[in-house]
Structures are given as C-alpha cells and as structure tokens.
Amino acid sequence: MPTYAYKAVNGDKSCDHCRSGFEIIQRMVEPPLTHCPQCQNPIYRVLFAPTVVVKGSPVTETEKKIREYEKEGKWSHAAELADKEAEKTKREDLRVRALEDYKKAGYNFDKYDKKFE
C-alpha cells in the first residue's frame, strides 16, 4: 500500500503532528485526508514523489474534468473547477493548479490571492 505524506495547511494553527508533516499508509481507494487526525485542522497531501503520486493518487471525476478543460485550453473553466474543488477538499495542489489556470486564462489574481489570507 502506498505511503502518503500530509502537511498542515496553516502551520500556525496546527499541532506538532502535522506542522512539519507526517506520513500515513493508505489504500489507493481511500479518499485523501483533509484534516489532521490529532488537531482536526486542515491538511493537504504533499506531492513528494511524482511517480508514486501520479499512480497512487486517486483521480476524482472533477480532476478528470479539469484535465479535459486544460487540454481544450479552457483555462478559466479549469481554474474555476480546480478552485471550487480546492475549497472543498482543502487540497493545496488543486489550489496551485487553479492559480496557474487563472494565470493562463489571463486573470488578474491580486484579488484572488487575498481570498486565501
């Protein structure tokens, strides 16, 4: 079974367990953790080994859709979807992806950044 690494989204509010990150063995079909099992603060999955992650990380329907939009060059669609999904799942990788897609769509995201402060 693959090992996944998780880290606190907000280091200031987290406990020792998740602040510096921790690893956990999960089955591939298990959904990613969104909250620290100890302090219940939001965490995200750390993408530390691309080969493992690409194969091991479950691809959701939403992610497939995002990928489709990206392939078709519909950056704003992809960004909005990634953005929504990131909010829902607290996944840092999707948040970064949304930002990149917004950039490609030509958005001015000075405003967008503030949303996450």
Q: Pick the piece of the chain touching Zn ion (CB under 5 A) from 10-18, 67-75, 77-85, 107-115.
A: 10-18
C-beta of 37: minimal distance to Zn ion in Å?
Answer: 8
44 near Zn ion, judged by CB under 5 A = no
The neighbouring-strand residues paired with 42 are: 35
- Binding Zn ion (rule: CB under 5 A), the pick from 2, 5, 17, 103 is 17
Closer residue to Zn ion in complex, CB, 5/39: 39
| Cα end-to-end span (Å), the chain | 36
Q: Which residues of 10-36 are buried (b: 16+ CB within 10 A; e: fewer)?
A: eeeebeebbbebbeeebeeeeebbeeb
Contact (Cβ atoms closer than 8 angstroms) between residue 36 and residue 53: no
39 near Zn ion, judged by CB under 5 A = yes
59 near Zn ion, judged by CB under 5 A = no
Chain positions contacting Zn ion, by CB under 5 A: 14-15, 17-18, 36, 38-39
